[in-house]
Amino acid sequence: MNMINLLLFPIIIPFFFAMILLFFKEQVVIQRVLTVIGLALSLVASIWLLVTVKAEGIQTVTLGSWPAPFGITMVSDMFSALLVTTTILITFFVVLYSFQSIGIERERFFYYPAILFMITGINGAFTTGDIFNMFVFFEVLLIASYLLIVLGGEKRQLRESIKYILVNVISSALFVIAVAYLYSIVGTLNMADISVKIAEINQPGIISVLAILFLIVFGIKGAIFPLYFWLPGSYAAPPIPVLTLFGALLTKVGVYAITRTYTLFFVHDIGFTHQFLLVLSLLTIVAGCIGALAYFDLKQIIIYNIIIAVGVILFGVAQMNTSGLEGAVYYLIHDMLIKAALFVLIGIIIYVTGTSNLREMGGLIKSHAALGWFYLIAAFGLAGIPPLSGFIGKLLIVKGGFEADNAFGSIVLLVSSLVVLLSVIRIFIYAFWGPQNPDYPLPVTSKRTYRQLMAPAVLLVLVTVAYGVGTEWLMPYISDASDVLRDPSIYINAVLKE
């Protein structure tokens, strides 16, 4: 079997299954079965790809057999292979969770094809080695997300979706403009080639301006300060499985794009570009912390924690040293997993209590003890209590901050961990520990549905625990990923085969 195809499998398989699913609009059972098969095959392909990249180094394929930088190149280094695998794994669990939670009406209306098309776009964006192609894959995942955000057509969904679509259309327009400017300066769209050409022209001021323009474009997608204003409302509108996919995956594509461009292209004027990124990342953390403490709504508390995490990861990227970048890669994957687990768990809490308002809950630990304890494990993981996965990533990022003489930023990061802990423990205290409020009796829910919702949630939490406890085994992979970010020549030589 040709290695070339292997790299494309995690993109082609979901796309192929999404196409087939369009023909089975009414047959929900067939849709479910095909979706699970498609995701399982994609997962096998992505793990195989991961092992291949580890053994043989960066894999590249140029479409239409044009040599790079003339053809469109797809590149799978360790960073993108890890993200692709994590994406498919999370989607697999969310789809299992959807069977009981999304409702037949939505399932009949292209829910599963939309998810698979979205995964196609996300994995494509992670794997492409061409900046314009990245824009194309962004559009693929966005168009699928537009369907998912309005699916079901509730009034609130439609209102929030207008904002979501507007913001993304504007950011897409800016993206094309930024790519056009970049092309006019360096005359190429291949990401490795852009890096070479920028080094040749020695990054004049215009490139630094472009760096900020790209930061705005990807910052809107990744929800950095002050461009995150659209996120809390838009993400809270759709049902929980959709929110889980958005929260765990979509913002991370923006974060990935910032990380990739700021470690591959814009590396000659670090004093300006990365300092700017550093300041924005810290402001993002502060803004997220304020939101996480301000709300008494389950969804909003975890949604603001997405914003905090974006700041934490980009703070690591801004350091541009080994510890910072290793921490950023590790924390990015940790955050995808832990957010998925938390959103799925709060979905179950909302299902059991019939509300997402913390003030209307209480006493769940008596009736749903397992839910409480698994939620607590996930909450500790998010806040970075050792030996769970949040701890190692934050430790590396903080270490990177101190090594780069950004002690203030590292301290902000450590303080934010306390805020995160406070915000998620508050959910535990109100919903589980506090007394049951007699004014709000628990609605009647089915035991069977509860069990079926718990299965994927428990598995996801166990995956996050394994990710933290198994750090020693995973570290070679994380180091490989951060090496490519720290030393762009590894990426450039693999693509241009010099």
The pLDDT of residue 418:
93
* Cis peptide upstream of residue 387 (ω within 30 degrees of 0): yes
The pLDDT of residue 293:
92
The pLDDT of residue 497:
78
**What gap in Å lies between CA 28 and CA 102, rounded to an integer?**
12
Block means of pLDDT (10 residues each) for the chain, 498 residues, are 71 94 89 95 95 91 78 90 96 93 84 95 94 94 92 85 92 94 91 89 82 93 89 89 94 94 86 91 95 92 94 93 94 95 93 86 86 93 88 92 92 93 91 82 83 93 93 92 91 83
Q: Structural domain tally of the chain?
A: 1
DSSP code at position 224: -
The pLDDT of residue 203:
61
pTM (whole model) above 0.75: yes
Instruction: Strands of 277-363 (E only): list them.
Output: none
Length of the chain: 498
**What gap in Å lies between CA 25 and CA 393, rounded to an integer?**
43
Backbone angles phi, psi at 190, to 5 degrees: -70, 125
**What gap in Å lies between CA 124 and CA 170, rounded to an integer?**
21
The pLDDT of residue 3:
52
Can you give the residue range of the structural domain that contains 158?
3-496
The pLDDT of residue 355:
85
Contact 126, 120 (CB under 8 A): no
Say which residues have a Cβ less than 8 Å from residue 180's Cβ, sequence separation at least 6.
none
In what helix (H) or strand (E) does residue 61 lie, and over which residues does it extend?
A: strand 59-62
**What gap in Å lies between CA 217 and CA 211, rounded to an integer?**
10
